[in-house]
Amino acid sequence: MGYIYSVNSQKVGHVEDNGDVFSMSGQHLGKVTPDGHILSLAGHLAGHVDGAGRVFEDGKHIGTVHGDGSVYDLEGIKLGHSDSPHAEFGGAAMLVLIR
What per-residue confidence (pLDDT) applies to 87? 87
The pTM is what?
Answer: 0.91
What per-residue confidence (pLDDT) applies to 47? 97
Average pLDDT over residues 31-42: 95
> How much of the chain, in percent, has pLDDT values that exceed 70?
100
Strand, helix or coil for residue 86 = coil
47-78: per-residue pLDDT in tens? 999 999 999 999 999 999 999 999 999 999 99
Average pLDDT over residues 5-20: 95
